[in-house]
Amino acid sequence: MTNEPLISVVVPVYNCEKYLSHSVEALLNQSYKNLEIVIVNDGSKDNTLKICHEYRKIDSRIIVVDKKHGGTADTRNVGINAINGQYIGFVDADDYIEENMYELLMNDCLSSGKDIACCNRINLYNDKQNLFTIVSESMIMDSKDAVKTLLVANDFSLCNKLFNKKLFDNLKFVENVTYEDMIPAVQTVMCSNGVYFDSSYLYYYVQNMDSMTHRPFEPTKLDYVLNMNKMADLVKETYNDMGEQCDACCINAITGLIPDVYVVRKQYPEEYRTLLKELDKYKSSYKDNPFVNRNNRIKTFLNIHRMTGLACFLGNLYASIKG
């Protein structure tokens, strides 16, 4: 039996029969073989559970857990309770990874002695892909500098990282909210002894148009701003010199969500007003914040002066030119 540490990969699944195979195959083909793949079915109504059991018959490293539908946070909590590994990773069912991702990240953790290894990722769209760069060169950071790096990069994903399991021993995902991974993604780093940032692009984040991120506005999307505020407060309480980075993340979250609610503001007037009031909190500081990029600075100015229609138009124009 190998002496390599066991990596447990938690894969929450819900009604994903169309794309689950691609994700699971990528895990089964990992060059790092000492894996267990914990697939947690969140009460799927399609053939997802059947597909999971078929893969379980093929490879004994797969563990299938079936549960009542309770959302991604509950599903991840159940998955964490079911694992046996010393290290833990997360992969979303509609995404996939490079075949050497966990080999590289494990080597990064072991060679550096750090609790976490993090890689860059690739965002995949129907007709294009974008590189999401956290670091341009591989480097080791202590927990404080690592938090600062994630804030500046706006990276709050769990899926492009490998964690020492001990970081989750006293940490649970908050249930009944969306975007539940944002706060744990930062909490784990704050509790760690540091992060190895690997400059390799190893995680493929598939922009699924059926996902929460791309669906039309609904009130639960406000959880994104709510959790960003909670994350920012947590960081500010711990580090008194990261206020500007935290504020920039909150501004980015608000200005990113405003266009979604603007087109349905007659249906959701209170949510629309809530977002504008949230943005008003930064009207005296956003211009001098070096971490607010030019695009968000313009959108903030227009929204604060209630020229949201123009802000949305310019945002769409900028996106089309950039794309």
If you average pLDDT over residues 210-221, what whole number do you get? Answer: 73
Q: What is the pLDDT of residue 322?
A: 64
If you average pLDDT over residues 186-208, what whole number do you get? Answer: 95
Question: What confidence category does residue 180 fall into, taking pLDDT thresholds of 50, 70 and 90?
Answer: confident
Q: What is the pLDDT of residue 214?
A: 54
| Contact (CB, 8 A) for 312 and 303 | no
CA–CA gap between residue 153 and residue 286 (Å, rounded): 18
What are 54-72's pLDDT values in tens digits?
Answer: 999 999 999 999 999 999 9
Average pLDDT, the chain: 93
C-alpha of 310 from chain center: 30
Half-sphere exposure of 119 (CA within 13 A, CB side): 26
Q: What is the pLDDT of residue 211?
A: 54
Show me where the domains of the chain are located: 7-206, 219-322
CA–CA gap between residue 22 and residue 28 (Å, rounded): 10
> 7-206 maps to which CATH number?
3.90.550.10
Q: What is the pLDDT of residue 313?
A: 84
Query: Nearest Cα to 206, choosing from 239, 157, 277, 136?
Result: 157
Q: What is the pLDDT of residue 126?
A: 81
Examine the pLDDT at 2 and tell me if it is beyond 90: no
H-type helices in the chain, by residue range?
20-28, 48-58, 72-82, 101-112, 143-153, 182-190, 222-238, 243-262, 269-280, 294-304, 308-322
> Which residues 6+ apart lie within 8 Å of 111 measured at CB?
196
Examine the pLDDT at 138 and tell me if it is beyond 90: yes
What are 273-306's pLDDT values in tens digits?
Answer: 999 999 999 999 999 999 999 999 999 999 999 9
> Would you state the structure tokens that stand for residue 225, as one six-digit string?
């701003």
CA–CA gap between residue 272 and residue 291 (Å, rounded): 25
First to last CA, the chain: 49
Examine the pLDDT at 105 and tell me if it is beyond 80: yes
Pairing of strands 116-124, 195-206: parallel
| Contact (CB, 8 A) for 252 and 298 | no
Half-sphere exposure of 202 (CA within 13 A, CB side): 25
Examine the pLDDT at 218 and tell me if it is beyond 80: yes
| Contact (CB, 8 A) for 140 and 196 | yes
Which DSSP state fits 99? T
Question: Which long-range contacts link 266-270 to residues 24+ away (Cβ below 8 Å)?
Answer: 268/217, 268/219
Question: What confidence category does residue 128 fall into, taking pLDDT thresholds of 50, 70 and 90?
Answer: confident
- φ and ψ at residue 264, rounded to 5 degrees: -125, 30
Examine the pLDDT at 185 and tell me if it is beyond 70: yes
Which of the two residues, 61 and 220, has the higher pLDDT score?
Answer: 61
Question: What confidence category does residue 1 fall into, taking pLDDT thresholds of 50, 70 and 90?
Answer: very low
If you average pLDDT over residues 158-174, what whole number do you get? Answer: 94
Query: Nearest Cα to 121, choosing from 86, 88, 156?
Result: 156
- Identity of residue 170: N
Question: What confidence category does residue 116 fall into, taking pLDDT thresholds of 50, 70 and 90?
Answer: very high
Tell me which of 172-176, 195-199, 229-233, 243-247 is least confident.
172-176
Q: What is the pLDDT of residue 316?
A: 74
Question: What confidence category does residue 179 fall into, taking pLDDT thresholds of 50, 70 and 90?
Answer: confident
